[in-house]
Structure 1
Amino acid sequence: REPVPFPSGSAGPGPRGPRATESGKRMDCPALPPGWKKEEVIRKSGLSAGKSDVYYFSPSGKKFRSKPQLARYLGNTVDLSSFDFRTGKMMPSKLQKNKQRLRNDPLNQNKGKPDLNTTLPIRQTASIFKQPVTKVTNHPSNKVKSDPQRMNEQPRQ
């Protein structure tokens, strides 16, 4: 028998068997330099069946599974700060939202600044515990015990 070839554009039999892509082929990605392709693969089985994975392929055919992986490969040649990996588009609103969030975030305003308040916090107690205390000074157990034999000897060094 002769092996049946896979249709062009399909991922072929990977380690998990044949996979079908949503569109059946790799699409050009205009947000990346010329020659880059985007592919969306729908998961066919398992708990996450129906979800999709997005992959990018360089002009040389290298596969990228994540934005950090893509950024490492491209280096400083392309600014990916506003690039949405899932859609394959540059999102100018995404960049502005991140900058705005950093500016308005009250948690970030104290970041990097030391706390100059050196006063210790005052412990708050309930007023029902504020009762007068009597100090007994002539209690029999308060007597200082002394050894009469040692009183006569001077300490030696």
Structure 2
Amino acid sequence: MYRGLSVLTVVPVLNEERKIGEVVRRIPRDVVDQVLVVDDGSTDGSTAVARARGATVIELGATRGVGAALRTGYRHAIRSGVDVVVTIAGNNKDAPEEIAALLEPIAEDRADFVQGSRFLKRDASYGAMPRYRRVATRAHPLLFSLVARRWVSESTNGFRAIRTRVLADL
């Protein structure tokens, strides 16, 4: 529970046996009420590791894509009756410790949707990202910012918080 809001974190995963345990471990349980790992057809031990760390796991049974995994997680969140669903990558690229910061605008009734960003800090690292992806990762937010008429540092990252009532049409 975070400031009176019940929170479920959805972690889509595909063959992340070596990383999913650390992701689930790092999710702050004083902020997040439920951790749901949605497995998109992993052939490694991802689901066993997630369960061992205390996550609830839904297995899609076949690789259907991250969109299908997210929709499954959103539907579960709606059925569970939680106030907010947070999505975070299963490959440890996001910072679960930042979930509270992601939830703050929703808790203050300033937003229903909050997009996380790896690039708010000017010295943010692109890691081992290939050059073409670095260019696209910077160009897309610039275009998005022009359309939105406000600066957006990252528009495609899956680290998000969404009030479940806005997901009702799924």
* Class of the TM-score when normalised by the shorter of the 2 chains: under 0.3
Structure with greater Cα Rg = 1
Q: Which has the higher contact order (CA 8 A, sep 6+)?
A: 2
